[in-house]
Structure 1
Amino acid sequence: MKLLSETELRRVLTPAMAVESSRRAFIALSRGEMLVPVRSEIRRPDGAGIVFAMPGYLPGRVFGLKLIATRGPASTAMVLLFDSESLAPLGLLSADFLTDWRTAGGIAAATELLARPEARRHVVFGAGRLAGPCARLIAHVRPGIETLIIGRTPSRAEDLAAALRAEGLPAEAATDPARVAEADIVTTVTSADRPVFPGAALRPGVHVNLGGAFRPEAREADDDLARRGLFWCDSLEACLARAGDLVQPLAGGALPRSRVLGEIGAALAGGLRGRQAAAEITVFKSLGNAAQDICLAEDALALPGLLAPSFDPRGRFAAG
């Protein structure tokens, strides 16, 4: 069984792998080729954090479990993967960076499909750990795009913009949510539980990724976006049950159920429509799904030349 550290994963995971792995995971999930129950949650009694257990099964290949725990702004995660036929343990992967990369990879895969080809301005809400990966991977699928980081703390937003510029990616920082009016692509990866930008300010033809709020009582988008947008989900079942960006406007009547079109995997596979008109406002809701974790973990374990040690469950520990 291989053991992959954060350092090793940062060395071997590439933007292309993250995007392609999420694309493969979404398609397998939508085709019913991968079994992923709705995740279970354990909330800390003091309200300061939560633990998620996210299993998944790819028949004939692998099954696995991701555990992720949060406490305040801190989090930690691991993925354990097994061979689905022999039941041999394949790997235990530290999954903080893997989680960030698979989330951004899924958002980038949806953006590549749904955003207009001429999109040139990407507005990112949030300057935390997911903002950089999302900016980088969307720049990977849309080379030359300009990024605007909008954060509540000016110094954090500017630090991220400076880091992107140092990598050769055009970027600037701001704090005014009204600048969403400049966007061709919007990505929200905040810890907010209330809308972070005015949906009425969006120009026709914008593509929006909602990647932050993950509880029914939390949302990043307002009712104006719900009224104007067409929605795709990573997992329809999970989003209808857990995503406040859908649950709340559906319950309040701002979002007709007919405008929630289905899963992004079905659109990526060609069985569900994607963008059909330049003026449509398209919305991808990402809750994050164990299918992504398991596919990316499987891809990482298959890479040649890993420096990771291996562990024999019978007690031996060796390099290899």
Structure 2
Amino acid sequence: MRLLSEAALRRVLTPELAVDSSARAFIALSRNAILVPTRSEIQRPDGEGVVFAMPGFLPGRVFGLKLIATRGAASTALVLILDSETLAPLGLLSADFLTDWRTAGGIAAATRLLARPDAAVHVVFGAGRLAGPCARLVAHVRPIARTLIIGRTAARAEALAATLRAEGLAAEAATDPALVAQADIVTTVTNASDPVFPGAALRPGAHVNLGGAFRPDTREADDTLAARGLFWCDSLDACLARAGDLVQPLASGALDRARVLGEIGAALDGSLRGRQATAEITVFKSLGNAAQDICLAEDALALPGLAAPSFDPKGVSLEP
């Protein structure tokens, strides 16, 4: 069995792999080619965090289980991969960076399909750990000429913008949510419980990625966006049950169920439509799915630079 560290994964996970692996995971999910039950969730009694258990099964290939625990801003994640036939353990991967990269990869895969090809201005809400990966991977799939980082703390937003500028992205910190009026692409990766920008300010043709709120009582988008947008989900059943960005406006009537078109995987494989008109406002709701973790972990274990010539199921090989 391979034990892959954060350092090893940072060395080998490329933007192409992150985006393509998430696209593969979404397609498998929509085709029922991977079995992913609803994740188990335990809220900490002190309200400071949550523990998720996220299993998935690719018949004839692998079984995977992701565990992720959060407390405040801290998190720890692991992914275990087994051979689906022999049950031999193939790998145990530290998954903090993998989680960030698969989340951003999924958002970029949806953006690659739904955003206008000429989209050049990207507004990111949030300056935490997911904001940087999302800015980088969206810029990998669209010709982004300007990235605006809007965070709760101006210093953190400016620090992230400076890091992105040092990497070659034209990034700047901002404070006014109404700047979404300039956006071709909006990505939200916040801990907010209430909407973070005015949906009325979005111009026709914008694409929105909602990647933060993951409980029915939290949301990042307002009722105006719910009424204007067309929605695709990573997992339709999960989003209809757990995503406040859908649950709340559907319950109030602000969102017509017919505007929730289905899963992004079905659009990626051509069985569901994507963007059909330049003026459409397209919205991707990402809750995160174990299919993404399992596919990316499987892909990482198969990379030439990490592949072991042989392994002992009872032993552990440490990749520094």
Q: Residues 217 and 305 of structure 1: is their aligned pair in 2 closer, same or farther, counting only changes over 3 Å? A: same
Matched, 1:106 2:115: no
Superposed counterparts of 1:38-187, under 5 Å: 38-187=38-187
Residue number in structure 2 paired with 1:265: 265
Query: 8 Å contact 1:191–1:212 — kept in the other structure?
Result: yes
Which residue type is aligned with residue 92 of structure 1?
L
CA distance in 1, matches of 2:7, 2:105: 19
1:208-228 Cα offsets, whole Å, 9 max, x none, are 000000000000000000000
Give per-residue Cα distances to partners, 1:159-213, cap 9 Å, x unaligned.
1111111111111110111111110000000000100000000000100000000
Match of 2:13 in 1: 13
| Distance in 2 (alpha carbons) for counterparts of 1:181 and 1:188 | 15
In the alignment, the residues of structure 2 paired with residue 54 and residue 271 of structure 1 have an alpha-carbon distance, to the nearest angstrom, of 27
Distance 2:310 2:184 in 1: 46
1:43 CA displacement: 1.0
- 1:237 and 1:117 map into 2 onto residues whose CA distance is 29
> What is the deviation of 1:313?
4.7
Which deviations, in whole Å up to 9, do the C-alpha atoms of 1:229-268 show, x marking residues without a partner?
0000000010001000000000000001000000000000
CA deviations 1:255-298 (Å, max 9, x no partner) are 01000000000000000000001110000000000000000000
Answer yes or no: is the 8 Å Cα contact 2:301–2:307 preserved in 1. no
Normalising by the residue count of structure 2, what TM-score does the alignment of the two structures yield?
0.97
SS in 1 for 2:117: coil
8 Å CA contact 2:88, 2:313 repeated in 1: no
Superposed CA RMSD: 1.5
Would the aligned equivalents of 1:213 and 1:220 in 2 still touch at CA under 8 Å? Answer: yes
| Count of residues paired in the alignment | 319
CA contact (8 A) 1:151 1:175 kept: yes
The alpha-carbon deviation at position 145 of structure 1 amounts to 3.3
Please tell me whether the aligned partners of residues 310 and 318 of structure 1 are also in contact (alpha carbons under 8 angstroms): no
What stretches of structure 1 move > 3 A for 4+ residues in a row? Answer: 307-314, 316-320
Tell me if the contact between 1:3 and 1:308 (Cα under 8 Å) persists in the aligned partners: no
Contact 2:3/2:318 (CA < 8 Å) preserved in 1? no
Residue identity opposite 1:301 in structure 2: L
Unaligned runs of 5+ in 2: none
Once the two structures are superposed, the pairs formed by residues 290-305 of structure 1 within 5 Å of their partners are 290-305=290-305
The code of the aligned residue for 2:148 comes to L
Give the residue type in structure 2 aligned to 1:30.
Answer: S
Distance 1:74 1:310 in 2: 35
CA shift for structure 1 position 5: 0.5
1:20-35 matched pairs, under 5 angstroms: 20-35=20-35
Q: Give the match's secondary structure for 1:178.
A: helix
Structure 1, unaligned runs of 5 or more: none
Q: CA offset at residue 312 of structure 1?
A: 3.9
Q: Match of 1:256, as an amino acid?
A: D
2:283 is the counterpart of 1:283: yes
Identity %: 82
Q: Is the alpha carbon distance of 1:210 and 1:310 closer, same or farther for their aligned partners in structure 2, counting shifts above 3 Å?
A: farther
Per the TM alignment, residue 152 of structure 1 is displaced from its structure 2 partner at its CA by 1.4
CA contact (8 A) 1:6 1:96 kept: yes
1:215 aligns with 215
Look up the equivalent residue of 1:298 and give its one-letter code.
E
How far apart, CA to CA, are the structure 2 residues paired with 1:94 and 1:120?
34
The residue aligned with 1:239 is: 239
Aligned counterparts of 2:145 and 2:88: Cα–Cα separation in 1: 44
Contact map agreement 1:3 1:311 (CA 8 A) in 2 = no
- The answer (yes or no) to whether the contact 1:309–1:319 under 8 Å persists in 2 is no
Instruction: Assess if the C-alpha contact under 8 Å between 2:2 and 2:316 holds in 1.
Output: no
Q: 1:305: how far off?
A: 2.1
Instruction: Tell me, in whole angstroms, the C-alpha distance in 2 between the residues paired with 1:116 and 1:305.
Output: 36
SS in 2 for 1:34: coil
